[in-house]
Amino acid sequence: MNTLKNKVALVTGASSGIGRATAKLFAQEGARVIVAARRKKELDLLAEEISREGGEAKTLAGDVTQESYAKALVDFSIQEYGGLDIAFNNAGTLGACCSAPDITFESWNHTISTNLSAAFWGAKYQLPVMKPGSSIIFTSSFVGYTIGMPEKADYAASKAGLIGLTKALASEYGSSGIRLNALLPGGTDTPMSEKFGSSPEVIDFVKSMHALKRTASPEEIAKSALYLASDLSSFTTGTAMLVDGGVSICKT
């Protein structure tokens, strides 16, 4: 398939997990991809892998919490490929993972900067160069939306904020033909999820929270990102799209 033929796509947090899987899928579907993250070595390896598989990708490493990097990524996409059609603002952090009184000022700011502010900086520079039919996706979470979890105050606040940002920008740019949506994955087998817990007991507990009694692979979440990025979702904007294996509705 060539769902994204002739499209230029930017993916942040592309060095591992959902971002990496999505960058590969976008390239397989015909997009020319800009892959972004802090770790240049991992980005270069990803671009080489995409190239071996017949796709095309360019890398630009940097820190998504810096506004200057958001601008640099858009400038780079124009320089290398002449524009930008899709932005998957996916980079994120799990946060402090501790009780609210123990979250430090620095830790709170880091989580909000990485998960929420970085997405805003991205959109700030992406939107002005996008044409009708373009798509911006933010990676939010069911945490802070359908479910509250202990020791996740900073993470929940940042991810819930992304949904508000999605709705505001979708209403602002709908008349321009630009769509904005939030993707809300459930438990997914990524390096970041291992920080939540990697023991067999914790893994089994997390799986049991989902109606499907398992967690997702990054490739499964990438397919939903592809839907939101492509014309398959041409009448979808301003949504908080749950791709959570039923964790939001499961009580057993």
Per-residue pLDDT tens digits for 139-169: 999 999 999 989 999 999 999 999 999 999 9
The pTM assigned to this predicted structure is: 0.95
**Cα–Cα distance measured from residue 235 to residue 34, given in angstroms and rounded to the nearest whole number:** 25
Task: Return the closest-CA partner of residue 116 out of 172, 155, 63.
Answer: 155
Active site residues: 155
Q: How far is CA 246 from CA 78, 95, 242, in A?
A: 39, 24, 9
Q: How far is CA 62 from CA 28, 37, 176, 209, 238, in A?
A: 25, 6, 30, 35, 28
Read off the pLDDT of each residue in 4-28 and give the average, rounded to a whole number: 97
pLDDT for the residue 197: 64
Q: What is the CATH number of the domain that holds 57?
A: 3.40.50.720
Tell me whether residue 114 is in a domain. Answer: yes
Tell me whether residue 167 is in a domain. Answer: yes
The overall average pLDDT reported for the chain is: 95
Tell me whether residue 199 is in a domain. Answer: no
Tell me whether residue 23 is in a domain. Answer: yes
List of residues 6+ apart from 43 with CB closer than 8 A: 14, 15, 35, 36, 37, 59, 60, 61
The range of the structural domain enclosing residue 108 comes to 8-188+217-243
Residue 134 has pLDDT above 70, yes or no: yes
Residue 96 has pLDDT above 70, yes or no: yes
Tell me whether residue 2 is in a domain. Answer: no
Tell me whether residue 251 is in a domain. Answer: no
Residue with tokens 């089994």: 204
Structure confidence by residue, pLDDT tens digits, 193-226: 666 666 788 788 888 889 999 989 999 999 999 9
pLDDT for the residue 43: 98
Question: How many structural domains is the chain composed of?
Answer: 1
Contact at 8 Å (CB) between 86 and 4? Answer: yes
Buried b (16+ CB within 10 A) or exposed e, 215-252: bbebebbbebbbbbbbeebeeebbbbbbbbbebbebee
Structure confidence by residue, pLDDT tens digits, 51-84: 999 999 999 999 999 999 999 999 999 999 999 9
Tell me whether residue 201 is in a domain. Answer: no
Tell me whether residue 202 is in a domain. Answer: no
**Cα–Cα distance measured from residue 36 to residue 74, given in angstroms and rounded to the nearest whole number:** 11
pLDDT for the residue 5: 96
